[in-house]
Structure 1
Amino acid sequence: MAESKPKYVLSYFNIKALAEPIRFLLAYGNIDFEDRRISREDWPKIKATMPNAQMPVLQIGSKTTFQHLAICRYLGKQFGLAGSNDWEAFEIDMAADTISDLRTKSAIVFYEPNESIKETKYVQLLSEVIPTILKNLEEMAAANKGHMALGKMTWADFLLAGLIEYLNLLCRQDLIANCPNLKAAVNSVTSLPAIKAWNAKAPKPDM
Structure 2
Amino acid sequence: MPSYKLTYFDIPGIVQHIRYILSYANQPFEDVRLNPADWPKLKEKFPYGKLPTFEIDGKIFNQSNAIARYLAKQYGLNGKNDLETLKVECLTDTLVDLRNGLSAIVYEKDEAKKEELKKNLVENLFPTYLPKFEEIAAKSTSGWLVGSQITWADLFYASTLAIFEEKFPGLLKPYPALTALVAKVENIPSIKAYLEKHKK
Return the TM-score normalized by structure 1: 0.87
Correspondent of 1:144 among 133, 140, 143: 140
Runs of 4+ in 1 over 4 A off after TM superposition: none
Correspondent of 2:113 among 117, 122, 128: 117
Q: Distance in 2 between matches of 1:8 and 1:203?
A: 22
- Classify the secondary structure of the residue corresponding to 2:37: coil
Please say if 1:165 is aligned against 2:169: no
Write the deviation string for residues 32-73 of structure 1: whole angstroms up to 9, x where unpaired: 111111111221222122222211211111322221111111
Please say if 1:154 is aligned against 2:151: yes
Unpaired runs of 5+ residues, structure 2, are none
- Classify the secondary structure of the residue corresponding to 1:82: coil
Q: Distance in 1 between matches of 2:59 and 2:69?
A: 16
Aligned letter for 1:106? Answer: L
Correspondent of 1:69 among 52, 65, 70: 65
Correspondent of 1:20 among 10, 16, 30: 16
Partner of 2:102: 106
Change (3 A) 1:41 1:114: closer
Q: Distance in 2 between matches of 1:84 and 1:66?
A: 26
Q: Distance in 2 between matches of 1:121 and 1:6?
A: 41
Q: Distance in 2 between matches of 1:59 and 1:203?
A: 25
Q: Where does 1:173-188 land on structure 2 (aligned, <5 Å)?
A: 173-188=169-184
Partner of 2:40: 44
Instruction: State the Cα distance separating 1:10 from its structure 2 match.
Output: 0.8
Correspondent of 2:50 among 38, 54, 69: 54
Instruction: State the Cα distance separating 1:106 from its structure 2 match.
Output: 2.4
Contact 1:143–1:151 (CA<8 Å) still a contact in 2? no
Q: Which has the higher contact order (CA 8 A, sep 6+)?
A: 1
How many aligned positions are there? 199
- Classify the secondary structure of the residue corresponding to 1:10: strand
Contact 1:92–1:154 (CA<8 Å) still a contact in 2? yes
Contact 1:72–1:159 (CA<8 Å) still a contact in 2? no
Partner of 2:31: 35
- Classify the secondary structure of the residue corresponding to 1:32: coil
Change (3 A) 1:203 1:126: closer
Return the TM-score normalized by structure 2: 0.90
Change (3 A) 1:38 1:177: same
Unpaired runs of 5+ residues, structure 1, are none
